[in-house]
Amino acid sequence: MFEALRLPLMCAPMSFASSPPLAVACCQAGILGGWQGGRVTRAAAFEGYLAALEGVGGAPPIVNLPARIFTDPDGEQKLALLRRVRAPLVLSSVGDPTELVGLVHDWGGRIIQDVTTLRHAEKSLAAGVDGLMVTCAGAGGQTGFLSPLAFVPAVRRIWDGLLIVGGGIADARGVAAVLALGGDIACMGTRFIATPQSGVAQAHRAMIARASIDSVVVSAAMNGVPGNWLRESLVAVGLDPATLPDHRIEMPDGVRPWRDIYSAGHSVALIDETEEVGAIVERLARELDALVPQAPWRARLAAIQSGWRP
Ligand SMILES: Cc1cc2nc3c(=O)[nH]c(=O)nc-3n(C[C@H](O)[C@H](O)[C@H](O)COP(=O)(O)O)c2cc1C
């Protein structure tokens, strides 16, 4: 499944931002196409993703499911659909993936757990996941807090299998850094919001392009867990970034976080314009080749894949 990768890169699952056109464009361009299959995606939309991705070819898609998918009213239906298409890759997040591991393996898929602490990594490995994604400091959405400079090598001490690294990465140097630290695949979210294919409002793309790293505010006020938000979008809905408390607050009338208050990570620092997915992937692949010619990531991913039991 990794043979079709143009470079060791994944587009992060980002609720409605990773729209079907974005997931499709990523797979076609040769990077893992993340999409969100949890509660924010109702059953009909879920089927829409699967229909859009059917027969697309290229690199595989990767669907994000919360480990507690069984509490989603549409959960059984979604799992049956994934079983029917034998979804190759599932990115599990939040909680104990044990139940999901059995199901995904049963249809022949591989399951990777998204973690932000070493303890969660250890527990997930004990549950039998096939890989880990470490979400580090600076990530868009509900961010991690650990520096990748220490977290990636720390995880490598306990795990020699597939390791995806996300948080604050938007250029080829970031991908090269992931490989140098011992990671296998880099993950970018914010970078792919600033594409015509993403499912956000044009104002969100434009705000990412003009934001600086100092424009990113971490706050739990929007939904109770710390996330990274663009200062300008907070001010636009009448919130004062300087006085936000560290707990969930009532939003101004009619304001919905994510839709009206824009999330993005530290990687806004490296994004100056909206760009087509295919152009981004080609440029990053060329730049990575120039930075680290003959980097052995392809052989390493082939070895991981051949080590996975049929
Ligand atoms: C607008 C937005 C929405 C996101 N939604 C989700 C989500 O639904 N599920 C999830 O696991 N991660 C979500 N994330 C986090 C991403 O999966 C990923 O960890 C992050 O974007 C990586 O950092 P970067 O944005 O600096 O590249 C979201 C991120 C953003 C920016």
Domains of the chain: 9-198+274-307 (3.20.20.70), 212-263 (no CATH)
The reply to whether ligand 1 has any atom less than 6 angstroms from the CB of 188 is yes
Per-residue model confidence (pLDDT) at position 309 = 72
For tokens 């934001």, the residue is 211
Q: Is the C-beta atom of 148 inside 6 A of ligand 1?
A: no
What number is the average pLDDT over the span 242-263?
Answer: 95
Report how far ligand 1's centroid is from the alpha carbon of 166 (Å): 9
Report percent pLDDT > 70 for the chain.
100
Q: Are 284 and 142 in contact (CB under 8 A)?
A: no
Please choose, from the candidates 110, 124, 46, 128, the residue with its C-alpha nearest in 3D space to the C-alpha of residue 80: 46
Q: Is the CB of 19 under 6 A from ligand 1?
A: no
H-run or E-run covering 160:
none
Cα separation, 35 vs 276, in Å, equals 18
307: left (phi over 0), alpha (psi -120 to 50) or beta: alpha
Q: Which residue has the tokens 């893992």?
A: 32
Residue closest via CA to ligand 1's atom 4 equals 14
Interatomic CA distance for residues 31 and 48, integer angstroms: 20
Q: Is 101 in the pocket of ligand 1 (CB under 6 A)?
A: no
- Evaluate: CB of 143 within 6 angstroms of ligand 1: no
Distance CA 32, CA 88 (A): 11
Where does the chain have alpha helices with state H?
20-29, 43-53, 75-85, 98-106, 118-126, 148-156, 172-181, 190-193, 202-210, 231-236, 277-291, 297-307
| Tens digits of residue pLDDT in 22-79 | 999 999 999 999 999 999 899 999 999 999 999 999 999 999 999 999 899 999 999 9
Label residues 193-210 b or e (16+ Cβ within 10 Å = b).
Answer: bbbebbbbeeebbebbee
What is the distance between the alpha carbons of residues 116 and 182, in angstroms, rounded to a whole number? Answer: 17
Given a cut of 70, is residue 310 above it in pLDDT? no
Say what the pLDDT of residue 294 is: 87
Residue 120's identity, in one-letter code, is H
Q: What is the mean pLDDT of the chain?
A: 96
- Report the separation in Å between the CA atom of 17 and the middle of ligand 1, taken as the mean of its atom positions: 9
Q: Which residues pair with 163 in a beta bridge?
A: 132
Task: Judge contact between 69 and 101, C-beta under 8 A.
Answer: no
CA of 15 from ligand 1 middle (Å) equals 8
- How far apart are the CA of 5 and the centre of ligand 1, in A? 21
Tell me if 114 sits within 8 A of 91, measured CB to CB.
yes
Has residue 111 got a pLDDT over 90? yes
Please, are residues 11 and 166 in contact by the beta-carbon 8 Å criterion?
no
Range name among 68-72, 139-143, 199-203, 225-229 with the lowest pLDDT average: 68-72
Pick the closest to residue 10 from 200, 180, 164, 171 (CA basis): 164
**Three-state DSSP class for residue 288:** helix
CB atoms within 10 A of CB 299: 10
Give the per-residue pLDDT at 86: 96
